Chains A and B, each alone.
Chain A
Amino acid sequence: QVQLAQSGDGVKEPGDSVKLSCKASGYTFTRYDIHWVRQVTGQGLEWMGWMNPNSGETGYGKKFQGRVAMTRSTSISTAFLDLTSLTSGDTAVYYCARGGRGETGALDIWGQGTVVSVSS
C-alpha cells in the first residue's frame, strides 16, 4: 500500500524551529518528488516547496525562501521539512505529498497531516 506517514513536534513558541518527517512506503522513494503543503485554518492550501529525493534538488515558494529547508534520508525513505523563525502565522496543518502525476506534476498521495501550533 502506497502511503506517506508524517510525524513531528506539534507545539512551538515564536522564534522556534520545527522539523517534520514524512516516511514513504509501498513505492520507490527516489522515483517521485516530495512536496510540502500547508493549510492555515480558514484559508486555502499553500504550496511550500518540493524536493527530488533522488538528487536532493529542492525548490521553495518565495514566501518561505530563507527559512525553509527540505532534506531526505534515502536509507529510511523519509523526507524532512525544517521551518525556522516560527510565528503565529505558521500555525497550520502541514502535509507532505508525492508529486509527479502527469504534466501537472499533481500530488497523488498525501500524508495524514501534522498540526503545528505556534503560541507563546
Chain B
Amino acid sequence: EVVLTQSPATLSLSPGERATLSCRASLSVSGRLAWYQHKPGQAPRLLIYDASRRATDIPDRFSGSGAGTDYTLTISSLEPEDFAVYSCQQRSNWPPTWTFGQGTKVEIK
C-alpha cells in the first residue's frame, strides 16, 4: 500500500509570500496525484489532479509539479483565503485504492 508523506506539517507565511508544499509517495504513483484544499466546516476542494492539471475554476496561482514519488504544490502568492489545510491524494491501480496524505496546514505568520 502506498503511503503519502507531506511536509512540512505546518507552514507559517504572510499574504503575498510563496508557499511550497511537498508530498512524497512510498512508491511511484506515476503522476496519479491530486491536491485538495480543506477549510474548517467546509468540504474539501479539488485543486490539482494528474500532478499538474488545475481543476475547474482554480486560480493560476496554484500549480502542481512532480513525477515518480515526489510532488509539489506551489501557491505563487498567498491570498488571505488560501490559508487552509492542503492534502495530497494518490490512486493505485490494483486493487483500486485511494490514499491521502496527512495534510499541511498553511497558517498566517
Binary interface encoding of chain B residues 38-78 relative to chain A, with 1 for a CB under 8 A from any of its CBs, else 0: 10000111100111010110000000000000000000000
Q: Are A50 and B100 in contact (CB under 8 A)?
A: no
Q: Are A104 and B90 in contact (CB under 8 A)?
A: yes
- CB contacts between A and B, total, < 8 Å: 82
Q: Are A102 and B49 in contact (CB under 8 A)?
A: yes
User: Nearest residue in B to A112 (C-beta to C-beta)?
Assistant: B43
Q: Are A108 and B56 in contact (CB under 8 A)?
A: yes
Chain B interface residue count, Cβ-Cβ cutoff 8 angstroms: 30
Q: How far is the CB of A45 from chain B (nearest CB, A)?
A: 4
**Complex: A95 Cα to B42 Cα, angstroms:** 10
* Residue with the greatest number of chain A CB neighbours at <10 A, chosen from B33, B49, B98, B101: B98
Q: Are B100 and A46 in contact (CB under 8 A)?
A: yes
Binary interface encoding of chain B residues 9-32 relative to chain A, with 1 for a CB under 8 A from any of its CBs, else 0: 000000000000000000000011
Q: Are A44 and B101 in contact (CB under 8 A)?
A: yes
Partner of B89, one of A62, A104, A111, A112: A104
Partner of A59, one of B34, B44, B55, B97: B97
- The verdict on A83 contacting chain B, using a C-beta distance below 8 Å, is no
**Complex: A83 Cα to B84 Cα, angstroms:** 29
Q: Which residues of B contact A103 (CB under 8 A)?
A: 31-32, 50, 91
- The verdict on B7 contacting chain A, using a C-beta distance below 8 Å, is no
Q: Which residues of A contact B (CB under 8 A)?
A: 35, 37, 43-47, 50, 59, 61-62, 95, 97, 99, 101-108, 110-113
8 further A-B contacts with Cβ under 8 Å, apart from A103-B50, A104-B91, A110-B45, are A44-B103, A45-B38, A47-B100, A101-B46, A103-B91, A104-B33, A107-B89, A113-B43
A-B contact pairs, 14 of them (CB 8 A): A45-B38, A45-B87, A45-B103, A47-B97, A95-B44, A99-B98, A101-B34, A103-B31, A104-B33, A104-B34, A106-B50, A107-B89, A107-B98, A110-B44
